Amino acid sequence: MSSAAPNPEVGLAAAPGDGGKALAGFMLSGFLLALLGAILPAWGYNWKEDPSDFIAVGNYFLCLGVGIVAASAVARRVMARWDVSLLLVFGCGISCLALLFLAWAPPLYAAWWRAGGLLVLGTGAGSLNMALFHAISKRYQADAAGTVNLGGVWYGVGCLTATLLVAGTFFAYTVTTILIFMAVVPGIFAVLYGRKAPVVPPKAADPTLRQALEDFRSPGAVMFALLLFFQFGNEWTIAGWLPLFLLRRIQGVSPQGALLILALYWSCLLGGRLGAAAILPHVRHRQLLLWSVAASLFGCLVLFFTDNRFGASMGALFLGCGYASIYPLVAEAIGHRFPYYHPGFFNGIFSLALLGGLLAPATLGYAAAALGNVRVVMAIPLIGTCVVMLLLVGIWLEAKVTGR
């Protein structure tokens, strides 16, 4: 296994241009995956109290997650015959078609039509993610932690953009028109990636499959995967359910108002992530972690007990700021722990994290239907935040014991 460390003299500006263009693709990834949480109020799930609606929402998130898993097999077949740039175009094109199909299947249609569209959307987003991780190989070798961090920032920009787009057009256009607008975004990316030169990762830099499997069997790699699994579960539970939670818990809040509070959450998550990345070299990581966990737990409790917009906004603010530092901490640890790059290995960890992020809100849908209470939405973030803290401590201990 390679033991080379990232060169601190190599900055993001020194990275290859193709990697920079590929990193911008993570904005589309965030845009596609944040879409469901933002569009649910437009589909009418804010007005109903039928427990079967909770089950339908759970099915939506489950289908999106299954699509991401299915994308792995689809993407490998595409790359076996063509190159990575075609997989980028394929992922964007499939996502565009899926959004157009969802625009054609409005709330009057049976829920399974939309579930099928989300399955295809997950396949497109998963294929896109796999291609992006292959395309950023050179940039990752130049600056591992910086590349992972910048990818996370682009991802957050995409999530915020999707939420603001739906909030800004909620009362101006029908849900069909909104989804057509959203379908234009992956369409534009498909054209851009179709016109650029093929991106081929440097094969000589990849470890062997045996090395990758050995790493994944190590306690550190498993804990990284579990940490991202639970952290994405925490973040996407809020992202997927916050508007519906607020519409059912706070009297007088409009769908647009609930979406703007969700946008506040994404803004705090994004801004806090940028700030945390800047201060990491100057603060004790354990102290930052404790403050982050405290802010996250406080935000969950505020949202659980609040009955007004101000309380909801403060809860979203504390949650966003609390969750913000987790990803930079993990990115820095990954940069030291895995200084080489293996697209399949790292994409596998990220896909597992995304799966956790979508399984958590899916599970909440079924739990809310069984209990008949939307307050259960705050249960997973409360528990998941504590699990993330324990896993981060475990990763630091493993690094000290192994000297990695």
DSSP 198: P
- How far is Cα 316 from Cα 318, in angstroms, rounded to an integer? 6
* CA atoms within 13 Å, Cβ hemisphere of 314: 11
First to last CA, the chain: 12
Q: C-alpha dihedral over 190, 146, 391, 303, to 10 degrees? A: -70
Contact residues for 374 (Cβ-Cβ < 8 A; gap 6+)? 54, 241, 244, 245, 248, 249, 368
Element (H, E) at 38: helix 17-39
Q: According to the model, what pLDDT value does residue 195 have?
A: 80
The model's pLDDT over 59-95, given as tens digits with 9 standing for 90+, comes to 999 999 889 888 877 777 776 677 777 888 889 999 9
Question: pTM here?
Answer: 0.83
Domain locations in the chain? 16-402
DSSP 5: P
* Residue stretches of the chain with pLDDT short of 50: 1-17, 198, 202-209
Q: According to the model, what pLDDT value does residue 165 have?
A: 94
Q: According to the model, what pLDDT value does residue 17 have?
A: 45
* CATH (residue range 16-402): 1.20.1250.20
Q: According to the model, what pLDDT value does residue 205 have?
A: 44
The residue among 263, 253, 252 whose CA lies nearest residue 37 is 263
Query: Quick one: how far is CA 256 from the chain centroid?
Result: 22
Q: According to the model, what pLDDT value does residue 80 have?
A: 66
The model's pLDDT over 164-187, given as tens digits with 9 standing for 90+, comes to 999 999 888 999 999 999 999 999
The beta strand positions in 33-87, using DSSP E, are: none
Q: According to the model, what pLDDT value does residue 353 have?
A: 66
Sign for the CA dihedral angle at 24, 26, 31, 32 comes to: positive
Length of the chain: 404
